[in-house]
């Protein structure tokens, strides 16, 4: 597993945990809702800002080595969904579902990349 794919998986996991835990914490601790949501969008932009170069570079580099487009295309789809969610271009209510879906898809792309890299002849 390449270090960049590991980093991409960690970033995707961080986004998934953040997006899944935040709504649950607001239900349990309503008084924190305003504080958590005020910083939520900034954190999503930061995670997206990290995910695009790290995942993009890892997936492009993997493609150059194994020549299989699937991981690269799946990763691009995930990053686009994350971008749509964070930017609220479709709807603000879709931020969490789009970023969760996008992060899961990016994580899957990194796993595909790892699998494809491990199958290549050394």
Q: What's the rounded Cα separation, in Å, for the pair 71 and 24?
A: 32
Please report the sign of the dihedral spanned by the C-alpha atoms of residue 112, residue 113, residue 114, residue 120: positive
Q: What's the rounded Cα separation, in Å, for the pair 16 and 85?
A: 13
Task: Show the tokens assigned to 114.
Answer: 């790892």
The CA-atom distances, in angstroms, between 77 and each of 28, 29, 60, 101 are 33, 34, 14, 10
Task: Say what the pLDDT of residue 39 is.
Answer: 46
The number of domains in the chain is 1
Residue with structure tokens 């789809």? 77
Which pTM does this prediction carry? 0.76
Residue 2 DSSP SS3: coil
Give the containing element (helix H, strand E) for 14.
helix 3-28
What is the domain range of residue 28?
A: 3-119
Note the pLDDT tens digit of each residue in 80-96: 999 999 998 998 888 88
Give the gyration radius of the chain's Cα atoms.
16
The CA-atom distances, in angstroms, between 93 and each of 16, 21, 39, 63, 84 are 17, 16, 16, 34, 11
Note the pLDDT tens digit of each residue in 26-42: 555 555 555 455 545 77
Confidence band for 24, pLDDT divided at 50, 70 and 90 = low
């Amino acid at each position: 597993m390449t270090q960049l794919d590991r980093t991409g998986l960690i970033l995707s996991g961080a986004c998934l945990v953040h997006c899944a835990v935040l709504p649950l914490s607001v239900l349990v601790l309503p008084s924190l809702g305003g504080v958590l949501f005020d910083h939520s969008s900034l954190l999503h932009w930061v995670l997206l800002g990290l995910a695009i170069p790290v995942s993009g570079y890892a997936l492009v580099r993997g493609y150059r080595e194994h020549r299989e487009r699937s991981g690269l295309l799946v990763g691009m789809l995930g990053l686009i969904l994350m971008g749509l969610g964070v930017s609220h271009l479709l709807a603000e209510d879709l931020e969490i579902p789009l970023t969760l879906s996008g992060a899961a898809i990016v994580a899957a792309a990194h796993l595909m990349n790892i699998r494809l890299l491990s199958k290549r002849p050394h």
